A and B are shown apart, each in its own frame.
Chain A
Amino acid sequence: MSEAVIEFRDFSFRYRAQKEPTIKNINLRINQGEKVLIVGPSGSGKSTLAHCLNGLVPFAFPGEITGEYSINGQNPRKLGIFGLNKMVGTVLQDTDGQFIGLTVAEDIAFALENDCVEQEELFKRVEEAAEQVSVKELLGNSPRELSGGQKQRVSMAGVMVDDVDILLFDEPLANLDPATGKRAIALIDEIHKKRKSTIIIIEHRLEDVLYKDVDRIILINNGMIVGDMKPDELLSTDLLVNNGIREPLYLAAIRHSGAKICAEQCPQHIETMKLDDVSETVKKWFHEVSIPEKPVSNDVQLEIKDISFSYTSKKKVLSDISFKINKGEMLSIVGKNGAGKSTLANLICGFLEPDAGQILFEGTDLSSWSIKEHGEHIGYVMQNPNQMISKPMIFDEVALGLVVRGVPEDEIKERVYKVLKICGLYQFRNWPVSALSFGQKKRLTIASILVLDPEVIILDEPTAGQDYKHYTEIMEFLKELNEASGITIIMITHDMHLMLEYTHRAIVIADGNKLTDDTPANVLTNEAAADKAYLKKTSLYDLALKCGIDDPSEFVERFIWFENQERGNG
């Protein structure tokens, strides 16, 4: 048995401001060189556990510790946060916020500078670290010139430069598009193999992390460890689903078909999973499910005609984009980070003016409308609700748009109440905004837009950083909204689950061009398109092929429909 680097014995932690402990009686041992994935829904305590390892708990976030824990055989409480830094390197989830230096080189050097390493040595070690994550050509670049994936690589170099032997990744996939996330996972795997470091990954996007092998998965919920086993074993139980973690889609499909999953099938990767006993059942299920036709409206609401745009004269951000959106559609605009999808949304909302082309709303050219007029027909909901909320009270926040338009007070009250009811916030109407959870704040920002009665709303990454439960909550709400009021909903996203499950059409933007405009199932089963848009083909596609189903796209459609039905039935 190899040496334990991390050990928790009957360990609990309670934040100073809280009554209940966030981590309860944990027993955990992680050995030298292991690669461990810690999963759990939001608020399960997984981040707190990570903070215990890197010293933010209790040194930056004070509280009460009971029980024992040790890292490399030493007591973290005696080591202090700086002592722990020497052993545990942390890569945080915010790729942008943790970039401290003005250039890549300085950011990588940061930890060494604080250790008073001489300049010559700095140059040498920074170069070595940059090489390991292939950002050597970028050493002189500023953070604004880097993509999210590159920034994350720089962060990795910044902790590896210090020769730490435990690497901790706190939600490494949160801000990345699927293809970049896949590469990040591959890089972590490479580092693990080369450096023989102990790797701990905290994530709730299980399927994406499992792209490369992990030794063990630790499942946390309510501050307790509810599962600590090998991936193949855990995946064959129903522990994940019961604890609010989404299992890989191919496994969900197999389960829906009624087939059993067991560890002997090696369910960790669809590519190598043994499907002999299940393929027939899956195939049979595929033929049994049929999707009823859904009526589609043919009234064009929004028409984008040959739109081009560039920020500076040099490089076009968007070129010759055209498409039509019908009334009551729920569609997604997808593509990698920086592909131009946010710019497109800004153009539709009138925040930016196109260099060429037209945007028509119900046949009217929008170019002469002010931003305010745009806002009355096309509402825009930002990704981060904290960037939208400007009033301390919930009622006032929703009323804001009406107040500035001089709507009479009685009418304001009536309209705000109505919208609050729709958004399930009516009981909080007299509360301060600060009492709401993140998901409720999101709904509040949607309410503050809906109150203006727009015909279209555009949401920028509506579910970014949300776990499965909150994701479902927000998306089910939007779906109901769309079905009940017929409002057109456009979502800008790189979440493949979202586009697959909640939109019936995806417009794919890559490098400023419209790549495809098709059903999400088709997009995600088309390898070439998915690659170009930095998406990832869905594992359902592989499952379908391995089970001998000749129409994988239809298989995906049926699976999604079936899941939605199941969800609808509770």
Chain B
Amino acid sequence: MSRVLSYVEKDTWIHRLSGVTKLVFFLLWSVTSMITYDTRVLLVMLVFSLWIFKASKTSWKQVGSVFKFIMFFLFLNVLAIYVFSPDQGVKIYGTKHVLAHLAGNYDITKEQIFYELNVVLKYFTVIPAVLMFIVTTDPSEFAASLNKIGVSYYIGYSVAIALRYIPDVQDDYAKIKRAQEARGIEMSKKAKFMDRIKSTAAILFPLIFSSMDRIDVVSNAMQLRGFGKNKSRTWYSAKPLKRNDRLTLAFTVIFCAAALIITFTNGGRFFNPFT
């Protein structure tokens, strides 16, 4: 089974950071990137993101397919912005430099290109941070982190337990699919689209039933070992905050505050190179 986008144990300073630190970083970083359209801030963040990504020694194989998937959505997003509001850039920056005229009220303007460039930049400042967070954070430590920042441990644990059983369910799926194929249910591209949808039902039906059995066993096993007894619980895999964590947290808070201050002292969320 492929192991795309899952935690891989490596020894870097990023891996050694506590999950809480990484979670806080990731959240503040994303919020900042979402708020600001200041190109200068975004560029600095981009450089940081890339550096962090590199420092986490993440290999292309781990994230490549997901990255391509995100790129596809980015492309759709950029296209959609242009189709639905071709003058967004002009509205924001207050000037209009037409580079070419397409059709109707569809012009290609410098302002629009610049605006959409900022959108792309935003994506690129967040993507490495997301991917880094996912591949360097041990899922059970993540559950512990969520609990630490105040989220109920039921939620944290359901994430961890899902991760625990996803491979098993994938195996079940593969097994069931083969057995059904042997009975003659065509799942390859040879079959018509509607037939394939119907055939999928022939796999999902048994899969759901056998997963229900599994859920039964797990929930009994968890109850028998005292899950849900107390309001809180401790975590074997929680990492205490160390010096590096405190430094990272301090840096994150200062950096994000500074980024927002710079953004808003300009008088708006946008950096305007046209005036």
Interface residues of A (CB under 8 A from B): 54-56, 59-60, 81-82, 85, 90, 92, 94, 96-103, 105-106, 109-119, 122-123, 126, 143-144, 158-159, 162, 346, 349-351, 371-372, 374-376, 379-380, 382, 384, 386-391, 400-401, 404-405, 448-449, 452
Q: What is the CB-to-nearest-CB distance from B182 to chain A, in angstroms, rounded to a whole number?
A: 3
* Max chain B Cβ within 10 angstroms of own Cβ: one of A56, A99, A350: A99
| Known contacts A100-B164, A109-B236, A380-B179: A386-B206 contact under CB 8 Å | yes
* Max chain B Cβ within 10 angstroms of own Cβ: one of A60, A114, A119, A158: A114
* Max chain A Cβ within 10 angstroms of own Cβ: one of B139, B207, B213, B225: B225
Q: Does B181 contact A (CB under 8 A)?
A: yes
Query: Which of B40-48, B108-116, B214-222 faces chain A?
Result: B214-222
Question: Is the Cβ of B229 less than 8 Å from the Cβ of A100?
Answer: no
Q: Which A residue's beta carbon lies closest to that of B237?
A: A106
Question: Is the Cβ of A380 less than 8 Å from the Cβ of B164?
Answer: no
A328 to B185, CA, bound (A): 28
Question: Is the Cβ of A97 less than 8 Å from the Cβ of B221?
Answer: yes
Q: Does B175 contact A (CB under 8 A)?
A: yes
A32 to B160, CA, bound (A): 38
**Inter-chain contacts of A391 with B (CB < 8 A):** 202, 205
Q: Does B180 contact A (CB under 8 A)?
A: yes
Question: Is the Cβ of B223 less than 8 Å from the Cβ of A56?
Answer: yes
Question: Is the Cβ of B184 less than 8 Å from the Cβ of A82?
Answer: no
| Known contacts A82-B226, A122-B236: A452-B214 contact under CB 8 Å | no
A112 to B226, CA, bound (A): 9
| Known contacts A101-B164, A119-B236, A126-B236: A110-B182 contact under CB 8 Å | no
Cβ 8 A contact of A452, one of B184, B218, B226: B184
Kindly list 16 other residue pairs between chains A and B, CB separation below 8 angstroms, not including A119-B234, A387-B210.
Answer: A55-B224, A85-B225, A92-B220, A97-B218, A109-B236, A113-B234, A114-B230, A119-B238, A122-B236, A351-B181, A374-B182, A375-B181, A386-B209, A386-B213, A389-B206, A449-B183
Q: Which A residue's beta carbon lies closest to that of B181?
A: A371
Q: What is the CB-to-nearest-CB distance from A438 to chain B, in angstroms, rounded to a whole number?
A: 12
- Pick 25 A–B contacts, CB within 8 A, sort by A: A56-B224, A81-B224, A85-B224, A85-B226, A90-B224, A92-B217, A97-B221, A98-B217, A103-B237, A114-B233, A122-B236, A158-B225, A162-B225, A350-B182, A371-B178, A372-B184, A379-B182, A380-B179, A380-B182, A384-B210, A387-B206, A390-B180, A390-B201, A391-B205, A405-B184
**Inter-chain contacts of B161 with A (CB < 8 A):** 100
A269 to B206, CA, bound (A): 43
Q: Which A residue's beta carbon lies closest to that of B236?
A: A109
**Inter-chain contacts of B139 with A (CB < 8 A):** 102
Q: Which B residue's beta carbon lies closest to that of A86?
A: B226
Q: Which A residue's beta carbon lies closest to that of B203?
A: A390
Q: Does B235 contact A (CB under 8 A)?
A: yes
**Inter-chain contacts of B163 with A (CB < 8 A):** 102
Q: Does B227 contact A (CB under 8 A)?
A: yes
Cβ 8 A contact of A404, one of B164, B186, B228: B186
Question: Is the Cβ of B218 less than 8 Å from the Cβ of A98?
Answer: yes
Question: Is the Cβ of B234 less than 8 Å from the Cβ of A122?
Answer: yes
A106 to B238, CA, bound (A): 11
Q: What is the CB-to-nearest-CB distance from B234 to chain A, in angstroms, rounded to a whole number?
A: 5
A380 to B167, CA, bound (A): 23
Q: Does B249 contact A (CB under 8 A)?
A: no
Question: Is the Cβ of B223 less than 8 Å from the Cβ of A60?
Answer: yes
Q: What is the CB-to-nearest-CB distance from A253 to chain B, in angstroms, rounded to a whole number?
A: 38
**Inter-chain contacts of A144 with B (CB < 8 A):** 167
Q: What is the CB-to-nearest-CB distance from A434 to chain B, in angstroms, rounded to a whole number?
A: 10
A389 to B183, CA, bound (A): 11
Q: What is the CB-to-nearest-CB distance from B176 to chain A, in angstroms, rounded to a whole number?
A: 5
Question: Is the Cβ of B202 less than 8 Å from the Cβ of A400?
Answer: yes
A102 to B6, CA, bound (A): 13
Cβ 8 A contact of B182, one of A100, A113, A351: A351
A449 to B178, CA, bound (A): 13
Q: Which B residue's beta carbon lies closest to that of A168?
A: B224
Question: Is the Cβ of B225 less than 8 Å from the Cβ of A97?
Answer: no
Cβ 8 A contact of B176, one of A56, A112, A388, A405: A388
Q: Does B172 contact A (CB under 8 A)?
A: yes
**Inter-chain contacts of A111 with B (CB < 8 A):** 225-226
**Inter-chain contacts of B217 with A (CB < 8 A):** 92, 94, 97-98
Q: Which B residue's beta carbon lies closest to that of A114?
A: B226
Question: Is the Cβ of A92 less than 8 Å from the Cβ of B182?
Answer: no
| Known contacts A94-B217, A122-B234, A404-B186: A103-B140 contact under CB 8 Å | yes
Q: What is the CB-to-nearest-CB distance from B4 to chain A, in angstroms, rounded to a whole number?
A: 16
* Max chain A Cβ within 10 angstroms of own Cβ: one of B178, B183, B230, B233: B183
Closest 5 CB pairs of A and B: A375-B182, A97-B217, A98-B221, A109-B236, A114-B226
Question: Is the Cβ of B234 less than 8 Å from the Cβ of A400?
Answer: no
Question: Is the Cβ of B179 less than 8 Å from the Cβ of A388?
Answer: yes
A112 to B163, CA, bound (A): 21
Q: Which A residue's beta carbon lies closest to that of B186?
A: A372
Question: Is the Cβ of B185 less than 8 Å from the Cβ of A387?
Answer: no
Q: Which A residue's beta carbon lies closest to that of B165?
A: A97
**Inter-chain contacts of B238 with A (CB < 8 A):** 119
A101 to B240, CA, bound (A): 20
Q: What is the CB-to-nearest-CB distance from B81 to chain A, in angstroms, rounded to a whole number?
A: 40
Q: Which B residue's beta carbon lies closest to that of A375?
A: B182
A195 to B168, CA, bound (A): 35
Q: Which A residue's beta carbon lies closest to that of B188?
A: A370
A415 to B57, CA, bound (A): 61
A56 to B216, CA, bound (A): 12
Q: What is the CB-to-nearest-CB distance from B174 to chain A, in angstroms, rounded to a whole number?
A: 9
Q: Which A residue's beta carbon lies closest to that of B190?
A: A370
Q: Which B residue's beta carbon lies closest to that of A55?
A: B224
A380 to B182, CA, bound (A): 8
A372 to B180, CA, bound (A): 9
| Known contacts A372-B184, A382-B179: A114-B236 contact under CB 8 Å | no
| Known contacts A387-B179, A448-B183: A100-B140 contact under CB 8 Å | no
A284 to B175, CA, bound (A): 51
Question: Is the Cβ of B206 less than 8 Å from the Cβ of A388?
Answer: yes
Q: What is the CB-to-nearest-CB distance from B214 to chain A, in angstroms, rounded to a whole number?
A: 6
Q: Does B85 contact A (CB under 8 A)?
A: no
**Inter-chain contacts of B224 with A (CB < 8 A):** 54-56, 81, 85, 90, 92
Question: Is the Cβ of A375 less than 8 Å from the Cβ of B184?
Answer: yes
**Inter-chain contacts of A54 with B (CB < 8 A):** 224
A112 to B237, CA, bound (A): 13
**Inter-chain contacts of B214 with A (CB < 8 A):** 97
**Inter-chain contacts of A102 with B (CB < 8 A):** 138-140, 160, 163-164
Q: What is the CB-to-nearest-CB distance from A421 to chain B, in angstroms, rounded to a whole number?
A: 20
Q: What is the CB-to-nearest-CB distance from B239 to chain A, in angstroms, rounded to a whole number?
A: 10
Q: Does B232 contact A (CB under 8 A)?
A: yes
**Inter-chain contacts of A105 with B (CB < 8 A):** 236-237
